[in-house]
Structure 1
Amino acid sequence: MEEPLESHVLILPFPAQGHIKPMLCLAKLLATSGLRVTFLNTHNNHRRVLPHNPCSPPSPLLRFESISDGLPDDHPRSLERIEELVLSIKMAMKAHLREFLLRECVQLPVTCVIADGIMSIGIDVAEELSVPAISFRTYSACCLWTYFCIPTFIHEGKLPFPDDDLDKEFHGLRGAEGLLRRRDLPSLCRSQIDSNLFRYFIDETIAMTQACALILNTFDALEAPMLSHLATIFSDVYSIGPLHALAIQSKGGHSSGRSESVSSLWIEDRSCMAWLDSQASRSVIYVSFGSLVKITVDQCMEFWHGLVNCGRPFLWVLREDAILGEKEDNVKLLLLELKVTSETQCLVDWAPQEEVLAHPAVGGFLTHSGWNSTLESIAAGIPMICWPRIADQQINSWCVSEVWKIGLDMKDTCDRSTIETLVRILTEDKKEEIMKSMARISALGSDSVGPEGSSSKNLERLIENIRKIGRTS
């Protein structure tokens, strides 16, 4: 009788920071539990992440490897050229993944692949090699359920939208009847349905159903209705978020003072922490639009004036590559002009966001509504003003403002008057009402990652099932 294989999990994220971060957090949790884990980045991102991580992995059972994404080193891999990236993933990177797994199986066989929900190449190659695959979608349950409903919306003639009225109510998304407007749907719903990018994301969503289970970075009490819909598609659904908070709990509830899932493709400027130390309690508005979103010079100035006019100190993460449509020298000049730290203003290229949100000086978060940022804000109990741009961000901001009542939504608007008004509403007019909702939701999130919480129990169940896979391989 053959000996059962040692459990060895391969984790394959989509090559973008918002995907790498939660998947690396999961990798560390699995390795801490005693599972052997290989985290497989692209060469490009491996080079960018490695200098920001400790010299050695957090666990001897976790190692970092990389393969080519098929693009040349000088390719920008930017949002504007994402179609080139996803095409290369489907073609060139899939072949590199197959080669890697075949080599890996000679040394220490992989018993389970956890593939990003928009990296179906991981499911495909795992199936070829008779290795079980689990899909990890780094979006919210609400967004994923919406993606699964899009083919039905097209069949029913609801997509593409028959006119340009984005404020018109949208009916047909179970769990959200009478609440949604067209503009609240994921940005994919505004795309041409015959475009390559639209087809890619719909195909990737459908391909997820070939996996043996689904992992989501969310918690039961936050998205119960949407999780119940997804349970009709997947036989096993593991809601194990907020993952960064679960990582802290795994260390006995004590944070090291640094991000629990160091995975930044950007170098953090920690000078902002000293600046926050000098500010009054709950006085600061933290502003960040994530790692991919870009803004025009006009939008930049509207945000600047709106923030200045509201009269509150603000900390703004403004990446060097975040300004659209300007010559490099002009951008450098603008940033040099803006990035002058004063008593009331601090601008940095990148910040340690989890620590910033946990700082007692921070009282509000002006955000792009990326899912990681939304969960980090909930965990820290910081109310949000949402300015979504792409992908899941539109429906996340809708959940924040209309479902959970923990913030305000300013999607598709960018003027200094609105920004000033919403900051005042968040911090003054509706402060008590919004903070009451946030305290409730934040407490539910904290409970979920506690020793007897739903996310902790779901993680235990996931780990045990991965071990079972190893024993039966």
Structure 2
Amino acid sequence: MSSPPPRKHVGVFVFPFASHTAPMLTIVRKIAAPAPDVLFSFFGTKTSNGQVFPKDAAGGQGNVRSCYVDDGLPEGFVPSGNPLELIELFLKAVPANFYEAIEAAEKAVGVKISCLITDAFLWFGAEMAREKAVPWIPVWFSGSRSLLAHVHTDLIRETLGSEEPEDSDQMLDFIPCLVSVRSKDLPWEVIRMNPTLQFSIMMDKMARSLPKANAVVVNSFDELDPFATLQLEKHLKKVLNVGPISVLSTRTETVAEAPPPPTADPHGCIQWLNKQPPASVVYISFGSVITPLPGEVMALAEALDEAAVPFLWSFRGDPKEHLPSEFVARSTMAEGCLDSKSKMVPWAPQLDVLRHGSVGAFLTHCGWNSLLECFTGGVPAIMRPFFGDQKMNCRYMESVMRVGIGLEGGKITKAGAVAALRRVLLENEGKEMRGRMGPLKEMVARALAGGGSSSKNLESLVEMVTE
């Protein structure tokens, strides 16, 4: 006997690059759990979906269905190693690939789409939702202030003019809540649109489309930046802060029939941290995409030797290709050796690491998700931003929240890194930052608890999507 068709059919569109797919799946699972009679078709590329769905659940899990869209790569394509190349080819295929995929899904399920949840980048969700007469709910995976900058794209360009604002210290004092931001802190796609780059075109169209959304979901929590949320609500119909998304529960009830994943620590990071003094360790990670230039990697290694502070370094790639052999040998001892004051691993359970009492600083690329995890663990940041919203995030942490410091000159040098490590780990300034982090850590816990702001906003999101 065949099962009845789902009561509703929700389409979920993923931007299948960087760290966008996994948090989108987290949100969808949280919405799907209390609505087992609603089907969620999760549209990503074969590669991106394959990274987040278990191999034994390639078709999806419970009422979350894995669906593929064309990645735009020509037959026989050989990547050059430039990640922007893959993004540009994918964006040339949109929105046609999503239209084609959603038509196939509707035919296969036998139920038309009742709601569209998309990555905020995918601006065409506004037009598709209008055509189908369904709600459009984009998800912004960064913070409120960077979203506010994008919403004000036209005003920023008109005010800054045609100069070279990328290197300017001009303050954005003409936008409430962004008065501490300098023009050089802005994402380049806010400053000007490059008509030769699909990514730039996408961000430009996104800024103009978001006011059409029924609600915009933001990876933040109400208590963190209420003034920014208030400013966003002047331009958007509804703002729902549901973060930090990476901290949302992954217990069994988040997905029907899906067992909770165990907390993995294959390289013994927590066991090693247990042997270190309180607030003494700097944890180092530049995320899943960024690798600093070789000169900066070497400068950081020299600074760690000079500062002589314990460190845990989550290192992407082969450290032997970038660092002196003796440095690597000291930091990659055999598993189970806990006496070393340094440890390099290919991967670390970041949230668990940042919650550990031995960690006193986080040297980070300043991605928003990493900073939210700083708040969750109560750990100050040492920041080396690279692109996108990262410079704005750095400015926010340093000048507004006063719970982090940017590296001098915006790059890693031996002298600058030594100074930053000592300031945060060894001097009173670091203790004061950790003191300011304490209330933020408590705010995160309250927001995610039952009856907390993020929990309530998530409940509102569930109602919008499923009722």
TM-score if structure 1 supplies the norm length? 0.84
For the residue of structure 1 that corresponds to 2:360, the secondary structure is strand
Query: Partner amino acid for 2:137?
Result: I
Q: Check if 1:203 corresponds to 2:183.
A: no
For the residue of structure 2 that corresponds to 1:152, the secondary structure is helix
CA contact (8 A) 1:5 1:109 kept: no
- Tell me the equivalent position of 1:104: 105
For the residue of structure 2 that corresponds to 1:360, the secondary structure is coil
Deviation per CA, 1:16-40, whole angstroms, max 9, x where unpaired? 2321122111012112222432322
For the residue of structure 2 that corresponds to 1:408, the secondary structure is strand
Distance 1:199 1:215, change over 3 A: same
182-191 or 397-406, larger mean C-alpha shift? 182-191
Supply the RMSD in Å over aligned alpha carbons: 3.0
- 1:74-473 aligned within 5 A: 74-76=77-79, 80-82=82-84, 84-106=85-107, 107=109, 108-156=111-159, 158-162=160-164, 165-177=167-179, 179-188=180-189, 196=197, 197-247=199-249, 258=263, 270-320=267-317, 333-334=321-322, 337=325, 339-340=328-329, 341-342=332-333, 343-410=340-407, 412-429=410-427, 430-468=429-467
Distance 1:57 1:287, change over 3 A: farther
140-149 or 228-237, larger mean C-alpha shift? 228-237
Q: Tell me, which stretches of 5 or more residues in structure 2 are unaligned?
A: 255-259, 334-339
Query: Partner amino acid for 1:221?
Result: E
For the residue of structure 2 that corresponds to 1:359, the secondary structure is coil
- Tell me the equivalent position of 1:328: none
- Tell me the equivalent position of 1:6: 7
- Tell me the equivalent position of 1:325: none
27-36 or 401-410, larger mean C-alpha shift? 27-36
For the residue of structure 2 that corresponds to 1:299, the secondary structure is helix
Distance 1:210 1:235, change over 3 A: closer
Displacement after TM superposition at 1:314 (Å): 0.9
CA contact (8 A) 2:53 2:60 kept: no
CA contact (8 A) 2:279 2:359 kept: yes
For the residue of structure 1 that corresponds to 2:304, the secondary structure is helix
Distance 1:161 1:446, change over 3 A: farther
Cα distance in 2 for residues equivalent to 1:449 and 1:249: 14
For 1:42, which of 45, 49, 53 is the aligned residue? 45
For the residue of structure 1 that corresponds to 2:48, the secondary structure is helix
Distance 1:142 1:298, change over 3 A: same
Cα distance in 1 for residues equivalent to 2:30 and 2:59: 12
CA contact (8 A) 2:222 2:454 kept: yes
Cα distance in 2 for residues equivalent to 1:109 and 1:77: 39
CA contact (8 A) 1:405 1:438 kept: no
Displacement after TM superposition at 1:273 (Å): 3.7
CA contact (8 A) 2:73 2:90 kept: no
Query: Partner amino acid for 1:377?
Result: C
Cα distance in 2 for residues equivalent to 1:441 and 1:283: 20
CA contact (8 A) 1:40 1:64 kept: yes
For the residue of structure 2 that corresponds to 1:45, the secondary structure is helix
Deviation per CA, 1:406-447, whole angstroms, max 9, x where unpaired? 111226232111111111111222122111110111211211
Distance 1:193 1:104, change over 3 A: closer
Displacement after TM superposition at 1:194 (Å): 5.5
CA contact (8 A) 1:310 1:423 kept: yes
Deviation per CA, 1:305-339, whole angstroms, max 9, x where unpaired? 11222211111122128xxxxxxxxx863368354
Aligned length: 442
For the residue of structure 2 that corresponds to 1:222, the secondary structure is coil
TM-score if structure 2 supplies the norm length? 0.85
Cα distance in 2 for residues equivalent to 1:314 and 1:354: 16
Cα distance in 2 for residues equivalent to 1:339 and 1:191: 42
Cα distance in 2 for residues equivalent to 1:163 and 1:65: 42
Displacement after TM superposition at 1:190 (Å): 6.3
CA contact (8 A) 2:376 2:441 kept: yes
Displacement after TM superposition at 1:192 (Å): 6.8
Displacement after TM superposition at 1:50 (Å): 4.0
- Tell me the equivalent position of 2:337: none
- Tell me the equivalent position of 1:264: none
For the residue of structure 2 that corresponds to 1:36, the secondary structure is strand
Query: Partner amino acid for 2:23?
Result: P
Distance 1:345 1:201, change over 3 A: same
147-156 or 392-401, larger mean C-alpha shift? 147-156
Displacement after TM superposition at 1:251 (Å): 6.9
For the residue of structure 1 that corresponds to 2:153, the secondary structure is helix
CA contact (8 A) 1:269 1:352 kept: no
184-193 or 442-451, larger mean C-alpha shift? 184-193
Displacement after TM superposition at 1:455 (Å): 0.8
Query: Partner amino acid for 1:9?
Result: V
Query: Partner amino acid for 2:291?
Result: K
Cα distance in 2 for residues equivalent to 1:75 and 1:233: 43
Cα distance in 2 for residues equivalent to 1:249 and 1:439: 26
CA contact (8 A) 2:367 2:389 kept: yes
Identity of aligned residues (%): 26
CA contact (8 A) 2:151 2:207 kept: yes
Displacement after TM superposition at 1:56 (Å): 8.0
For the residue of structure 2 that corresponds to 1:247, the secondary structure is coil
Cα distance in 2 for residues equivalent to 1:62 and 1:443: 32
